[in-house]
Amino acid sequence: MGRTSTPQSERTPHGLQLSVFVPELRVADVDFNLQGILRCLEQLAADSPAPRLALFPELSLTGCTCGDLFLQPLLAASALQALPEIASRCRDLGVWALVGLPYRHVNRLYNAAALFSPVGPVGLSLERFPLDPVSGFPSRWFSAGSDFPDRQAEILGRMVPAAADLSLTLPELYPQRLQICVGRVDRLICEVCVGLLLNPCALPALSLAGQFPETSQVLRGGGKAYWAYASCGPCESTAEVVFSGRAGIVRDGETLAQAPTLQFTTQRAHARIAPRKYARRQALKTAADQIPFEPLSQTPFLSSSQPDLQSEAVFAIQTAGLIGRLRHTGLRRLVLGLSGGADSSLALLVCWQAFRLLNLEPRDILAVSMPGPGTTKASLQRLRVLAELCQVSLKVIPITGALAGHLRDIDHPPDLYDVTYENAQARERTQILLDLANQNNALMIGTGDLSEIALGWCTFNGDQTSHYHVNAGLPKTLVLRVLAWAGGALLGAEGAAAAASVCAASISPELLPTDADGTSPQSTEAVLGPYLLHDFFIFHALANRLPPREVYRLAVSAFAGRYSSEKILRWLRLFYRRFFSQQFKRSAGPEGPRVGAVSLSARSAWMVPADVSGALWLRELEGLETNTGENE
């Protein structure tokens, strides 16, 4: 088990030994999770004098990502059946434990945390306003703890106090009042007289400060109170987000102990705490209170102050997501298409890092180059260099012959370079990759990015399809930054040079036959417009939820002197047209981890039907054009 040291200032012969644990977990496997919790209690009892308290994450008996399995009575019943063993172990070891579980009462289900003492259960705290930890939307499974109809609940035949954000006086554990708040740290409602706040939670790992509340920010201003929080980690499902595994103990903004994050083994942080005099409690600060004003940025997805730290965080989330999927499937081989472009290059590095952390052989990563009529020699050279540096298996399968045969089969003229000609290549490549994945008992990795997903710049049932989509949360501007960082960080000077070569190349699908000089006649940005602009549109239209008129106004201000207002309006209209018309591709998209402010997952983030109309948004842009005199 990983652990952090106890600060010298907290090593006193008096007080409470407080430990926050992030145990290894399997989603919906109560027996496995129970055993992990019991091992943590044994560790706590073995190396700490009494009194001792273990804090576990939200829904630690079941996992927080069970989805509609929470509606199956078997899951909640199994969690209840685990409680006698927890109570028995607390009694035998002389320890206290706060354990998360779904709790059913009067035909309603609550997100709860049960507190056990050495003599049995002593309280049940409920999430006040339950949210889905993946989407942040109101939960479809759990009822509001604020509406709990009684003041007590039955646990193991004993009636104990029960309430949303339950507060208790337990002098045998801690001399001052303690409170238990279940759920997101930015929604805590803390009593003024509390000396110890316990917060089992579920915090997604995201890349930029301010996109999700930072525990250290939210917990400032607590006087002399102690705050302990424990979030579930990446052992939860990595289908939509990767959970951070953040766990620590804080006093008045100072972190006393903190566990490592994004770990797949049990982690622990601990400190011995003693009561201190109360100070006037300040209002809890939210993340929004902490964000300083910054000038309008042309690259809102990118951190201007800590670019390397952001890149490292994004890459770690991508890698943890893939490791989680490999652990779940038990597969030890990967297949991906490698084109020499930025998206597939970054995906390859994520695969390479995941294998390195799992101590797997990189030769079991099969990178497949599938050159067609439009593939350039420069692209082939870039992908070969990167594959050799990573020491992965490289397989070259030309598709020109298969493409010609398929076009003949459907009576398509071979020199008609239309959307059928282009999409046939993407589907042929995807067929090869999926078949190779079957042949090698491997996971097929998708490579497209968030910008392409937003614009529908992918072929349905072609490059839109994969088993797991590691780049799904990264817009193009962030892909380029993370790739440039990862090349050097993972592969040294040669890797940095290889990544720089990829980042400098023109962005092109290379689906039309090359020109006489061997270059591609296609440029993605000549068709779509600059990705720099589209990422700006995505951020403000989706993360900030601004209407088209406001997105346009901000873009004109941010890009003054770089793009004319006419060009900005033209590309903004194209963005909204494609964004609405291409929803059908997102509705059938593969799973992949969110890393920042925007996700377009149809399961957890952008939930709209494929036949929704975008007329209202496009009409506002038409009116804007009429009112301002802007013309295409």
Q: Write down the domain spans for the chain.
A: 2-278, 307-628
pTM of the predicted model as reported, rounded to 2 decimal places:
0.92
Return the closest-CA partner of residue 250 out of 317, 190, 328: 190
pLDDT at 475: 98
What are the pLDDT digits (tens) for 572-593?
Answer: 999 999 999 999 999 999 999 9
Rounded to whole angstroms, the Cα distance separating 510 from 530 reads 17
pLDDT at 6: 39
pLDDT at 624: 80
Domain 307-628 has CATH 3.40.50.2000: no
Q: Are 230 and 20 in contact (CB under 8 A)?
A: yes
- Radius of gyration in angstroms for the set of CA atoms belonging to the chain, rounded to a whole number: 27
What are the pLDDT digits (tens) for 10-21?
Answer: 333 468 999 999
Residue 214 parent element (H or E):
none
Instruction: Give residue 3's identity as a one-letter amino acid code.
Output: R
pLDDT at 369: 98
Taking the CA atoms of residue 316, residue 318, residue 320 and residue 324 in that order, the dihedral angle to the nearest 10 degrees is 180
CATH fourth-level superfamily of 2-278: Carbon-nitrogen hydrolase (3.60.110.10)
pLDDT at 11: 38
**No. of helices (H) and no. of strands (E), the chain:** 17, 20
Where would I find the beta strands (DSSP E) of 94-187? 96-105, 108-117, 120-126, 152-155, 158-164, 167-168, 177-180
- Collect the ranges in the chain with pLDDT lower than 50: 1-13, 209-222, 279-293, 629-632
Under DSSP, the state recorded for 610 is T
Pair of tokens at residue 255: 């972190």
